Amino acid sequence: MSDKKQFGPIVSSAHLADSALPALSELEFGLILSGHAFERWMVHCMTAAGEPGLTAIDVLVLHSANHRGRPKRISDLCIVLGIEDTHVVIYAIKKLEKRGLLKGTRSGKEKLIGTTEKGVETCMRYREIREELLVESVRGLGLDPKVTSTVAAMLRALSGHYDQAARAAASL
């Protein structure tokens, strides 16, 4: 017998871990911590890139609008980012337009959102900072890129299960 104490799984809510799948509670706690850390990272990296005062949603909308250099429909931004409330994305777009990072154009009746030259430059500066401060540090962990991609695919798949469970819970 070891002198070490057994603390059990590292979770935020023991009453949720006491279930048929305690490892899911461990994963959820990891998601909570990593989600908040990722949001802090985005905000601070964007500040370092020269755009202080943006929220994590603002940063996500800017990067998504810049993705592949093509303007996006507001509905597509919402779908990609998994945001149900269109007003959240519209508010971020207005904020980013006022800063000169995004611009709206029309395609028939639909508004398309794209990055301005300043928006592209800001995204590229963010990328440079990310490479230097985050990517190099994470590469130092020696993670296998294939395993990292597998974990990413698993998280995307789990998001579907959480969405389905949310729909079911909303109907109760």
Given a cut of 80, whether residue 8 has pLDDT beyond it is: no
Task: Catalogue the E-assigned strands of the chain.
Answer: 72-73, 102-107, 110-115
Can you give the residue ranges of every domain in the chain? 22-142
Instruction: Let me know how long the chain is.
Output: 172
Cβ proximity of 68 and 108 under 8 Å: no
Query: Angle between the 56-66 and 22-48 helix axes, to the nearest 10 degrees?
Result: 80
**Separation of CA 79 from chain center:** 13
Question: DSSP assignment, residue 38?
Answer: H
- List, for residues 146-172, the tens digit of each pLDDT value: 999 999 999 999 999 999 999 999 999
pLDDT for res 114: 98
Cβ atoms within 10 Å of 133's Cβ, excluding its own? 14
Average pLDDT of 1-9?
Answer: 64
Average pLDDT of 51-76?
Answer: 97
Cα angle: 22, vertex 26, 32; to 5 degrees: 140
pLDDT for res 104: 96
Q: Which CATH class, in words, describes the domain spanning 22-142? A: mainly alpha
pLDDT for res 4: 59
DSSP per-residue codes, 120-166: HHHHHHHHHHHIIIIIHHHHTTT--HHHHHHHHHHHHHHHHHHHHHH
Average pLDDT of 35-64?
Answer: 98
- List, for residues 74-119, the tens digit of each pLDDT value: 999 999 999 999 999 999 999 999 999 999 999 888 999 999 999 9
- List, for residues 61-70, the tens digit of each pLDDT value: 999 999 999 9
List the strands of the sheet with 102-107, edge to edge. 72-73, 110-115, 102-107
In 3D space, the residue among 125, 113, 49, 124 whose CA is nearest the CA of residue 81 turns out to be 113
- Phi and psi at residue 103, in whole multiples of 5°? -140, 145
Which has more pLDDT, 16 or 55? 55
Which tokens sit at 139? 């590469």
pLDDT for res 9: 78
Q: Which residue has the tokens 């250099």?
A: 69
